[in-house]
Structure formats: structure tokens, C-alpha cells
Structure 1
Amino acid sequence: MPPTPAPTVEVSVTGLRSAKGQILVCLTPNRKAFPDCSKDADSVRMAVKAADAGNFTVHAPAIGTYAIAVVHDENSNNKMDTAIFLPKEGFGFSRNPTITVGPPSFKSASFAVAGDMRQSIKMKYML
């Protein structure tokens, strides 16, 4: 029997203020690694040209519960730039949870992946 193909998540990012730079994408099943993925070896990290952010595909490693965080890295330095603790670049999360202070919880951004699916993420800018 052939192995089951990994499910895909089709992502569309809306509300970009420019087509400059890239979108840094993090898909993780690990609540402790959300939202930056740096401490999660099982996360899926990728960069997509901002001009192509209307629609792109992320391959989930397996069926499970995941959350996505995206950053509009306008100057392409591979990180989110901040000014006095506020992000200078845009960001967004799966399920578009309300943002108050700090990033949302994994629970508020997580969704079940049982097969191919879609997530629409709206970018937010603080500055």
C-alpha cells in the first residue's frame, strides 16, 4: 500500500500593505513553539515572496492540530523587526484571532488538519 500523502494547507494572505519583501511562514503542531517555530524541529518553515502571498501551499507533516503564524518581512532580513516592543512589520495567524497584547494563544489560532484544506490569514500592522 502506498504511503498516505501529507495533507496540504492552501494559505491565502490578505491585507498586505506592499508587495515588498517576503512572507515568513511557520506551521507548527507544538503549542510551546508558537508563534516563532524556532524551537520546533517538526515545524514547517518557509518564505514566500510577498507578491505571491495571495495563494500558496504548505505541506503539513501529518494529520493533526496546527497553528500558522506569518510575518510580512518587508526588508527581507528573515526576522520581524520591532520598535519599542511593537512589531514594525505585519503579522497574522491562522483563524485570525483577536490580537490584544502579545501573540494569540496556540489554542485560538489552531485548527485540525485531517486532509487538504484552506486557511485565509488577514495581515495586521501596528506601526
Structure 2
Amino acid sequence: MTALLPLLTAAASAPPPTVDVSVTGLRNTRGQVLVCLTTNPKAFPDCSKDKASVRMAVKAASAGDFAVHAPGAGTYAIAVVHDENSNNKMDVAIFLPKEGFGFSRNPTITVGPPSFKSASFAVTGDMHQSIKMKYML
């Protein structure tokens, strides 16, 4: 039994999974990329409604590749915004985003944001997501 203790301790203290994210298609390197990782369909794509979400900002100049640490295994979706003027929000003009955006699994965008289901993916360990930025204006 004592031989199992180190294994159980190691398993209990295993680090949370990491999602390596690659963002492509940024139209410039100004500002920052706002990142939202959530398991809550009602809080997607705006993580402000989810206290358990992971929110972060990455300088646009280094947003090509970065890591997001998921709180644990589960089904997640990622939303990103190219906040070119660093005002910590997506700017809009006549209901259209003036800044770029993207989602995990790169779902087709029609009217409004995609559903959580179309952007979600299972996290069971370290993994990778590639996100293509889209610009409406």
C-alpha cells in the first residue's frame, strides 16, 4: 500500500490540462487578443457571465501561439477577439464587429456568434486548437 501512495499523490497533484492555441489571420499586431475559455453554453461567447471561465489577454504581437490552462477535463469552447485599440471589449458599428474574432473549431459564421455546441471540444489532457480570425469591416 505504501508503494501506491507516491502514485496516488502524483495523480492527485497532476497539473490541469493545457490547451495550446494558434491564432492565424490577424490583420495587424496592434492591441491585444482577448481570450475566453468556458464550459458554460449560456456564457459563450461572453465569459463575463461565467465566474469559472478562464479569461486572459495576449499581446497581438505574440498571439500566434499561446497556452490556456483549463481548470480540468470537460467540454470547452474558446472565443477570441482582436482588441486592436486595447479597450478590453469588441467594438461594433451598426451591429457589426469592427474588430476581428474567432472561435475554437472555426465554425461557420452566419448571423451572430456560433452556438457553444459548434465551437466546443472535449479536453481530457493537453491539446491544441487552431483559430482563424475573421473580420467583418
Please confirm whether the aligned pair reaches a TM-score higher than 0.5, indicating the same fold. yes
Q: Residue in 1 aligned with 2:26?
A: 16
Q: Does 1:91 align with 2:98?
A: no
**RMSD of Structure 2 on Structure 1 (CA):** 0.4
Q: Residue in 2 aligned with 1:26?
A: 36
Aligned residues: 127
- Identity, in percent, stands at 83
The alignment's TM-score, normalised by the length of structure 2, stands at 0.92
Larger radius of gyration: 2
Q: Distance in 1 between matches of 2:33 and 2:24?
A: 11
Secondary structure, counterpart of 1:38 in structure 2: helix
Q: Residue in 2 aligned with 1:67?
A: 77
Secondary structure, counterpart of 2:42 in structure 1: helix
* Cα shift at 1:65: 0.3
> Larger % of helix: which?
2
The alignment's TM-score, normalised by the length of structure 1, stands at 0.99
Q: Residue in 2 aligned with 1:119?
A: 129
Q: Distance in 2 between matches of 1:100 and 1:20?
A: 27
Instruction: Point out where structure 2 has 5 or more consecutive residues left out of the alignment.
Output: 1-8
Q: Distance in 2 between matches of 1:70 and 1:5?
A: 24
Q: Distance in 2 between matches of 1:48 and 1:15?
A: 15
Which whole-Å deviations, capped at 9, do the CAs of 1:54-81 have from their partners, x for residues lacking one? 1000000000000000000000000000
